Structure 1
C-alpha cells in the first residue's frame, strides 16, 4: 500500500536562476540580431528603389514602342535633387508626366552617379533602342545598386551590398 503512494515533494515551476539565464540568453540573441535585421532592411529598400527605376525604364520603352503618333519619351535623372522624371515630347511640345525620388523607397537612398552616354538623360526611340548607360544608387551603409541600360533596351541591376 505504501508503494502505491506517489512522491509529492518534487518542486513545480522554475527557479529565479533559471529565469535569469533565459532572460540573459534572449538579451544576447536580440543584441546580435537587431543590427543584422537593420542592415537587411536598409539593403532591401535599396533593392526596391533600383528595381523600381528598372521597371520605369522598361515600361517607358514599351510605352514608346506602342505609341501610334510621333512621340518620344525621356527619363531625366537629377543627381542634385535626388530625383528622376519622365517627359513626353510630341508636336505640341514637351510635358513632364511624373517625378520620382529613390528615397521614396527608404530613407538614405541617393543617386550617386549618372552616366548615359555622357549625360543624365535616357532617350527612348520608337524602334526600341535607348540611350545606354548606368545610374548608381547608394544607401546609408554604402551598399550600391547599378541600373544599366543597353542600347537594345535591356535593363538590369547589379548589387554591391554591405553587411
Structure 2
C-alpha cells in the first residue's frame, strides 16, 4: 500500500483552473494538482532554488523534486500533445495570510478564507476597522488587496477545515 504524500503549503488557490488547447478538443485534459502548480510557480516562475522552494512548501527537498518533476512532465505532455490542463485536487494546505493596515500600521495574520469565507480585501483591520491594507508575503513583498475575481469556473473554493486535506 502506497504511503500518502505529505501536504505541501500553497500560497493561495489558483486564479484559473482550466486551460484549453486550440487543437485538442477531442483529447482528454491533463490533471495538474494544486501543489504541482505551486512547485512550478516557486521554482520556474519565482526562480527559487529547490531547497528554498521545498522549505517554503514545508517539504523535504526530495519530495519537492518529485512533485516538480511530475508537474513538468504533465505540462510538457499537455503542450506536446495539444491537451488542455485542469488544475484540481492534491494534498496541500493554504498558508495563513498576513496583512498590514495602511491606516494604523497594525500587522495581523488571518487563516485562509476564514471569517465566514471572506477574501482579504473584505476583511477589516482588527485594531482600527480600516479597510486599506496590504498583504505581506513571506519574502517581505507587499501586495495590494484587490478583489472581486473568481477562482475557476465553479467559483472560489473556501477553506480546507484548517487541516491537512486531500483535495481530490
Same fold (TM over 0.5): no
Class of the TM-score when normalised by the shorter of the 2 chains: under 0.3
Higher helix share: 1
Q: TM-score, normalised by structure 1?
A: 0.28
Structure holding more strand per residue: 1
Which structure has more RCO (C-alpha within 8 Å, separation ≥ 6)? 2
Output the TM-score relative to the length of structure 2.
0.27
